[in-house]
Structure 1
Amino acid sequence: MNSLVLILISVVVFLIAYVTYGAWLAKQWGIDNSRKTPAHTKGDGVDYVPAKAPVLLGHHFASIAGAGPISGPIAAAIFGWLPVLLWIIVGSIFFGGVHDFGSLLASIRHDGKSIGEVIEINMGKRGKKLFASFAWLTLLLVVAAFTNIVANTFVSVPQAATASLLFIVLAIVFGFAVYRKGVSLGIGSVIGVILLFICIAIGNMFPLSLSFNTWVTFLLAYIFIASVTPVWILLQPRDYLNSYLLYAMIAGAVLGLFITRPAIQLEAVTGFNVNGQWLFPMLFVTVACGAISGFHSLVGSGTSSKQIDKESDAKLIGYGSMLIEGVLATVAIITAAYVSREKLGELLGAGGPVNVFSDGIGTFMTSFGIPFTVGKSFVALAVSAFALTSLDTATRLARFIFQEYFNEEGSQKSHPLANMYVATGITVVLGGLLAVTEYTKIWPIFGSANQLLSALALMTVAVWLKKSGKNYSMFIIPMVFMFAVTLFALGFLIKANLAVGNIILVVFPVLLFVLALVLAYQGYHIMTATEPKKTTKA
């Protein structure tokens, strides 16, 4: 099998899905540009800030992608490339895309509130408290997993570390220039992208080599600061510039694939049980963000819904971003599948899935004259930039959820734990403690929690749509499937960690399992008892 065929199939199918199924979803849910979005009705200059569609697409995609659609498919390659690719395509179109688009729209229609608050409105205060607990625990795993990934990337590719630090400074300057000094987005983008590639060049000349623990400490300090600053200072501008890194990386990968056309060496299917890992359910939680991710619902309802300019942008931001992520996940599985199993093992041992991906894309780029070292460090920078975006977005979202949990609406007195800095600090410290745990132990639990979160978000949006008299049928199969997959996966993980006496990694799955069962029961009860409205206006 030629790898070029795989990427072409992926891109064509996703384009068809966006034009047809995406448009059908928008029609079913009554997308209406005459409605003012929360960015306009609640604009505060900090979190509620209207953004142009390309800028918000860059922020949203960079936030949801992180290293997930790269690490997940490569880790799942133990089952062969075919089941991974099929799940990426089917999952992105009918599971992840529906989940992301629906979650974003639900938040927009609820004044930019988080999925937790949407649950409170549609399922009651108890449901919100349970979901908030579940989501916050999941976000701790996001912080831990992505801190681990970025720190390892900086250790294995120190050139990316230097470039990333310079990039943070560049993003702040870009934000001030565009949002406070009146520089046009077009001119700012041209200058910003040029300076971005200068940062990469400087990184290659002056690599910064520090220990893993030093990088973890730096990253925790960074995400604390980044998650409490106004979005226009760092979040929007850095994510927007990040999008150009992504587009350049994907373009370079696809062009390299067109020229080199490497043959796939990995078996199409290796087996249903591989080294004690069962294809069902572990494939579906390991691929994670490459097909569907509950974290996306937190991003969509936590930051993107507060910045969307008009409702019609929701299709591009919600559904479109998930399909682009599907393309990225397809490229990721190709980088694992075109090398021999022995070579794949060596690359994984030298730096994990990100090293596999960076090595593969760097190799493809040599076909059109990019030196391998430059190409590999560029890809590592792009991946670390996505992961950094996910890191501070996850911390900001955890802060929102933590504050919402302790702040009672209408209360004149704020709870001490609802303080912005206290909520952020608790999240960063606990996430940091988990971050020093071995990556391979964190990822399966993160994947399971993340996918279970997606099942809960699917259930929430389905309940809201039913109450609003809208078509919610497209949520039923994804919701039931994701509940089944993730509850089975958590059960396997609890058993495995008990066997080796890893109590910390037993407690997390048990808490998530119990919370999910309670929420699923409550959601089922409310959905079956709800009579849909006659009106078609949500």
Structure 2
Amino acid sequence: MNSVWLVIIGAILFLTAYTLYGGYLARQWGIDSKRPTPSHTKYDGVDYVPANSKVLLGHHFASIAGAGPIAGPIQAAIFGWIPVYLWIVIGSIFVGGVHDFGSLVASIRHDGKSIGEIIEANVGKKGKILFNLFAWLTLVLIVAAFTDIVASSFAYNPEVQGFQAGPAAATSSMLFMVLAVLFGFMVYRKGYGVAVSTVVGVILLFLAIWIGYKFPFLALSKSTWYVILLIYIFLASVLPVWLLLQPRDYLNSFMLYAMLLGGLLGIFILHPNLELAAFKGFTVTTKTGAQYLFPILFVTVACGAISGFHSLVSSGTSAKQIDKEEDAKLVGYGAMLIEGMLAIVALISIAYVSKAEGTPALIFANGVATFMNSFGIPLEFGKVFVILAFTAFALTSLDTATRLGRYVFQEFFETVGGKNSALTNKYVATIITIVCASLILAYGYQKIWPIFGSANQLLAALALLAVTAWLTRIGKNRIVTLIPMIFMFCVTLSALIILTRNYFIAKNYILVVIAIVLFILAIVLLLEAINVIKNKKISQDIKA
């Protein structure tokens, strides 16, 4: 089959969904552009800062995308391209988009608070404590994972002769950070217009890429990059969001958009046929054993259709920067649909060469570089550019996850110890989060990585539960989040049962305990919320 049709059908469905279903959700939830948002009512110049909707879209998209929408569809392709494609499209529109948009709106109505705070307001204090504990542990895993991914991508290998993409990516990324600080300072402190600053910033961004490609002067070891990255994410967590995190993500988003558009244009020119089998069956045998389409497909695609990490971004950083409520549709729902398109390109990359080998990043880079080569981009340069973009995804997720980990840690100890607790200090919270991630990194987080996918999707189910409980309490239509919530709980709990069995057979008892704890946590929170949803109590102190 010609892959162009996958792009055309996906684009039409996503655009239609954004206009019709996104508009329907906005009306159901009472989006009002005149209602003051937390970025104004709680402005502090650090976390609560109103942002231009286009700038925030770039920050949000770069933060939520990570490596998930690339690695997920490629790994899930073992079942064939049809089930993966269907889940990307249907999931992005009716599950992931609703999850992200709903989490963002719910957080805006709760003064920019996290999903944990929303659970406390609508389910109870115990629910918040359990959720925040789970969310923080998940974020620690994300920090550990992406620190290793980025350090590995940046590392210089003295045994390899000639050009290496790692030092080039590292050089460009470090230049990005300097550029981001200058951009934030010029826009937010000197008052330069966003449009002019963006044009200059994007030009300098691609100049940085060229410098990194031609003069990769940061040829450092993996262990050295561990130290540099841990220092960087500490700064990214505590510095004002307008100074580093937001402008870096915003400028990086243009490189990500360029990669996505380049891949799409190349697909239209090259017309690559899908060599991968359309459907390989409900059960597929791999090196690690039998894999079942349900629930493994829905866990593996991850960010390509829905991700619990998105709810933490929506309710952690983005809700604090929304200028007007009407911007929530573009940022929350729109960004997820863009990510769906990226997932489609990733799927086509693996489906074009059915026997592609290597890491998901390498498979994706080879595929997209081949597509871009159809309109004159040199193949080798294209590979470097795509790997740079992939690294930018990972680095963006890393710094955002650290800041979110700090938020959740502070909220947890505000609940159990009061606001005067030393553990609510942002510097202390950041240091503890980073230290715990470092310990996992030293221990070997790879041993618990197989369960991360299930933990992430469980987080999505819990976020949908929180939004459903909130909609129930204020008397709004909850069916749009209730159905996705039920489905995601079925997926996650089924996956945890399978993982528990597999780990037990393999005598990996640590992972057995983790899987059981996650399962129990999900059940307890679910039962707590069911009482609220059944009773349909309307709380007078919740903002409608």
What TM-score range do you get, normalising by the shorter chain? over 0.9
Q: Which amino acid aligns with 1:146?
A: F
1:244 paired with 2:258, answer: no
Aligned length: 530
Match of 1:214 in 2: 224
For 1:335, the equivalent position in structure 2 comes to 349
SS of residue paired to 1:407: helix
Structure-2 separation of matches of 1:410 and 1:67: 36
CA deviations over 1:345-377 (Å, ceiling 9, x no partner): 2xx2xxx21111111111111111111121111
| Corresponding position of 2:519 | 513
Comparing 207-216 and 79-88, the one that deviates more? 207-216
Q: Structure 2 stretches of 5 or more lacking a match?
A: 156-163
What amino acid maps onto 1:138 in structure 2?
T
Cα distance change on mapping 1:496 and 1:487 into 2, 3 Å: same
Report the Cα offset of residue 71 of structure 1: 1.1
2:290 counterpart of 1:280: no
Question: Who is 2:369 aligned against?
Answer: 362
1:407 offset after TM fit, Å? 1.6
Is this contact kept in 1: 2:141–2:445, CA < 8 A? no
- Displacement after TM superposition at 1:340 (Å): 3.0
In the TM superposition, structure 1's runs of 4+ consecutive aligned residues that sit over 6 Å from their partners are 437-440, 533-537
**Which residue identity lines up with residue 325 of structure 1 in the other structure?**
E
Q: Which moved more, 1:320-329 or 1:356-365?
A: 356-365
Mapped pair 1:308 → 2:322: yes
Q: Deviations over 1:423-480 (max 9, x none)?
A: 1122112223334677875554221111111111111111111111111111122111
1:525 is matched with which residue?
A: 531
- The Cα shift of 1:41 comes to 0.4
Q: Per-residue CA shift, 1:33-54, capped at 9, x if unaligned?
A: 1210000000000000000100
Q: 1:157 to 1:491 in 2, by over 3 A?
A: farther
Shift of 1:218: 2.7
Is residue 120 of structure 2 the alignment partner of residue 96 of structure 1? no
For residue 190 of structure 1, report the CA deviation from its aligned partner: 1.0
What per-residue deviation string (whole Å, max 9, x for no partner) do you get for residues 9-33 of structure 1? 1111100100110001111111111
Question: How many Å separate the matches in 2 of 1:213 and 1:504?
Answer: 27
Is the Cα–Cα contact under 8 Å of residues 81 and 279 in structure 2 kept in the other structure? yes
Deviations 1:144-164 (A, max 9, x none): 332233233334731212211
Provide the residue aligned with 1:180 in structure 2.
Answer: 189
Alignment partner of 1:157 out of 165, 169, 174 = 165
Q: Would the aligned equivalents of 1:148 and 1:436 in 2 still touch at CA under 8 Å?
A: no
The answer to whether the Cα contact below 8 Å between 2:120 and 2:127 also exists between their aligned partners in 1 is: yes
Residues 118, 466 of structure 2: 8 Å contact kept = yes
1:4-23 correspondence to structure 2 within 5 Å: 4-23=4-23
**Partner of 1:471 in structure 2?**
477
Q: How much has 1:414 moved relative to structure 2? A: 1.9
User: Structure 2 matches for 1:94-493, cutoff 5 A?
Assistant: 94-155=94-155, 157-158=165-166, 159-207=168-216, 208-274=218-284, 275=286, 276-341=290-355, 344-345=356-357, 348=358, 352-408=359-415, 411=418, 414-435=420-441, 443-493=449-499
| % identical equivalent positions | 62
CA distance in 2, matches of 1:291, 1:340: 22
Distance 1:482 1:204 in 2: 43
The residue matched to 1:368 in structure 2 has which SS? Answer: coil
- Mapped contact 2:141–2:440 kept (Cα < 8 A): yes
**Residue 63 of structure 1, CA deviation:** 0.7
1:44-123 counterparts in 2 under 5 A?
44-123=44-123
Mark the CA change 1:206 to 1:510 in structure 2 (over 3 Å): closer, same or farther.
farther
Aligned partner of 2:159 in structure 1 is none
CA distance in 2, matches of 1:17, 1:536: 30
Contact 2:129 2:415 in 1 (8 A): no
Whether contact under 8 Å (1:468, 1:535) holds in the other structure is: no
* CA–CA separation in structure 2 for the residues paired with 1:443 and 1:410: 31
- Distance in 1, matches of 2:122 and 2:516, equals 26
Deviations 1:316-368 (A, max 9, x none): 11111110110011111111110131xx12xx2xxx21111111111111111
Q: Secondary structure at the match of 2:44?
A: coil
Aligned mates of 1:277, 1:437 — CA distance in 2:
28
Does the 8 Å CA contact 1:469/1:535 hold for their aligned counterparts?
Answer: no
Bigger shift: residues 388-397 or 151-160 = 151-160
C-alpha distance in 2 between matches for 1:501 and 1:432: 26
Taking the aligned partners of 2:22 and 2:245, their CA distance within structure 1 comes to 27
Structure 1 residue 527, shift from structure 2 partner: 1.2
Alpha-carbon distance in 1 for matches of 2:441, 2:91? 28
Q: Deviations over 1:492-519 (max 9, x none)?
A: 2223333334444444323222211110
Q: Partners in 1 of 2:116 and 2:541 — Cα distance? A: 25
Match of 2:158 in 1: none
- 1:134 CA displacement: 1.1
The residue identity in structure 1 corresponding to 2:5 is V
Q: Structure 1 residues 317-326 or 147-156, which shifts more?
A: 147-156
Cα drift, residue 113 of structure 1: 0.8
Residues 384 and 308 of structure 1: CA distance in aligned 2, closer, same or farther (over 3 Å):
same
Looking at structure 1, the residues matched to 348 and 439 of structure 2 have their Cα atoms a distance apart, in angstroms, of 33
Mapped contact 1:115–1:298 kept (Cα < 8 A): yes
**CA RMSD between the two structures:** 2.1
Residues 294-318 of structure 1, C-alpha deviations (whole Å, 9 max, x = no match): 1111111111010000010011111
CA–CA separation in structure 1 for the residues paired with 2:42 and 2:518: 33
2:107–2:114 Cα contact (<8 Å) kept: yes
Which runs of no fewer than 5 residues in structure 1 stay unpaired? none
User: Structure 1 residues 532 and 473 mapped into 2: Cα distance closer, same or farther (>3 Å)?
Assistant: farther
Q: For residues 321 and 436 of structure 1, do their structure 2 counterparts lie closer, same or farther at Cα, with a shift above 3 Å needed?
A: farther
Counterpart of 1:495 (choices 501, 518, 527) is 501
C-alpha contact (below 8 Å) 1:118/1:460 kept by paired residues? yes
For 1:97 and 1:65, the matched residues in 2 are separated by 13
- Deviations, residues 169-222 of structure 1 (Å, cap 9, x unaligned): 111111111111222212211111111111111111133444444333332222
Structure 2 CA distance, aligned partners of 1:89 and 1:29?
A: 23
2:161 matched to which residue of 1?
Answer: none
1:530 alignment partner AA: K
The answer as to whether partners of 2:110 and 2:543 remain within 8 angstroms in 1 is no
Q: Which amino acid aligns with 2:89?
A: I
1:241-272 deviation digits (Å, cap 9, x = unpaired): 01211211111001111111111111111222
Distance in 2 between residues matched to 1:338 and 1:80, nearest whole Å = 12
* In structure 2, distance between residues paired with 1:537 and 1:139: 29
SS of the residue 1:277 aligns to: strand
